[in-house]
Amino acid sequence: MSTGGGTNWFEAVALHWTGGLASASFYLPFRGVKRWSWETYWLVGGFFSWIVAPTCFAWLLVPHFWHAISSVSHATLFWTYFFGVLWGMGGLTFGLTMRYLGIGLGMAIALSYCAAFGTLAVPIYNGKFGHLLTHPYGEVILLGVLVCLSGIAISGAAGMSKERELPVEQKRKVVKEFNFTKGIMVATFSGLMSACFNFGITAGKPIKSASKLLLAQHHGWNIWNGLPSLIVLLWGGFTTNFIWCVILHLKNRSGGQYIAPVMASDAGRIVAGLDGPAYTEPSTAPISAEDAIRVPLFRNYALSAAAGVTWYLQFFFYTMGQTKMPAAGKFSGWTLHMASIIIFATIWGVILHEWKGTSKKTHRLITAGIITLVLSTIIVGLGNYLHPPHHAKAARGAVPQRISKQG
């Protein structure tokens, strides 16, 4: 069986774009969840995103994956988990950008910060930024990153144009709580914290090294080597979201929704800023007996699970795409990922009529933003293609001894 090794920028782009499609689409199943508070369906979806899916995929594809995790130092586990906690704060508020701005604009602005910080901070922190500036392939990659940021800025300009043009009533037909000011504030925080995911992936490199050896020993595909490190990173994200959802359950007395076949009155609920992207003002009207029996538990669980697994698939494909990137250009994989998310999120925004009623100028900005982001992907891919091949020897000595003796 092939080990799936070697760099290939065509495959890298395809895999990153597939992950971007999954990320841009994951929230759609949540739109079908009925009579559950945000904290209920968010935690159910998160359980599948951050616990079930990562463990199952690693168990299926990486032999003895737990050895790759247990063999590394406590420091590696801590920092991977810690950055996951910080990323969880960004993920927790990420949904709020869609509550206040809609899918298209919300993702574009939040991910602009995420792309800029997550892409450039890693090579700067590792002291490799200067190296990129002195090599043609590095200059091309950085040009692609700048073009990506320009595309994100154009997408943001389209959103601001939409804000000016549409009356509040029309905007709230598709985004019930549209609020540009709140949305910008939340998107800024969310984007910066979400970029910590890239730092978590960097911190988890020793886990990837151990996974590579396990896959080689068992004739598995090297393309799966990033899956075990995702488990630890996503534990951190789950921790943040779990704590907040439990707080909301206690505040709103909504913990019984997981098993309740009828909808309890929420007239006494005080809606707070972090109540979630789909929770509007509570109804004060009495609930009829007919309406009270309409909590579709199975449907809600199925849709939340589908949303959760779809979300996880973005990083399933992201880690695969990273294996196809040359070592010096791996940081640019984050740019490819962010650009593709914004492209598909904008397309979803158009499909869901979030841009309906805007002017031709705004439509031109939307189109220009997508074209610029596609161009940035091509430039980043070209830069990675220009990177000279580097045939490194396997650093088996860096892998824990108890791993190296297995198989």
Residue 306 confidence (pLDDT): 95
Per-residue pLDDT of the chain (407 residues; tens, 9 = 90+): 344 556 677 788 888 889 989 988 888 898 888 888 888 998 999 999 999 999 999 999 999 999 999 999 999 999 999 999 999 988 778 767 766 776 656 666 776 677 667 666 667 666 677 777 777 877 887 888 788 778 877 877 777 777 677 666 655 555 556 667 777 788 778 877 877 888 898 899 999 999 999 999 988 888 899 999 999 999 999 999 999 999 989 988 888 889 887 776 554 444 444 444 444 444 444 555 555 557 788 999 999 999 999 999 999 999 888 888 776 667 677 777 877 887 888 788 788 777 777 788 888 888 888 888 888 877 876 776 676 655 444 433 344 443 333 33
d(CA 88, CA 82): 10
Residues 6+ apart with CB under 8 A from 289: none
Q: Are 282 and 266 in contact (CB under 8 A)?
A: yes
The pair of structure tokens assigned to 198 is 């890239």
| 3-state secondary structure labels for all residues of the chain | CCCCCCCCHHHHHHHHHHHHHHHHHCCCHHHHCCCCCHHHHHHHHHHHHHHHHHHHHHHHHCCCHHHHHHCCCHHHHHHHHHHHHHHHHHHHHHHHHHHHHCHHHHHHHHHHHHHHHHHHHHHHHCCCHHHHHCCHHHHHHHHHHHHHHHHHHHHHHHHHHHHHHCCHHHHHHHCCCCCHHHHHHHHHHHHHHHCHHHHHHHHCHHHHHHHHHHHHHCCCCHHHCCHHHHHHHHHHHHHHHHHHHHHHHHHHCCHHHHCCCCCCCCCCCCCCCCCCCCCCCCCCCCCCHHHHCCCCHHHHHHHHHHHHHHHHHHHHHHHHHHHCCCHHHHHHHHHHHHHHHHHHHHHHHHHCCCCCCCCHHHHHHHHHHHHHHHHHHHHHHHHHHHCCCCCCCCCHHHCCHHHHCCC
Q: Phi first, then psi: what are they for 128, rounded to 5°?
A: -110, 0
pLDDT at 12: 82
Q: What is the predicted pLDDT for the residue at 387?
A: 65
> Which amino acid type is present at position 128?
K
Cβ proximity of 144 and 377 under 8 Å: yes
Q: What's the pTM value of the predicted model, to 2 decimals?
A: 0.74
Q: What pLDDT does 103 receive?
A: 60
Q: How far apart are CA 59 and CA 148, in angstroms?
A: 35
| 56: its two tokens | 């199952």
Name residues whose C-beta falls within 8 Å of residue 362's C-beta, 6 or more positions apart in sequence. Answer: 158, 161, 162, 165, 355
The pLDDT value recorded for residue 287 is 53
Distance from C-alpha of 11 to C-alpha of 322, rounded to nearest angstrom = 10
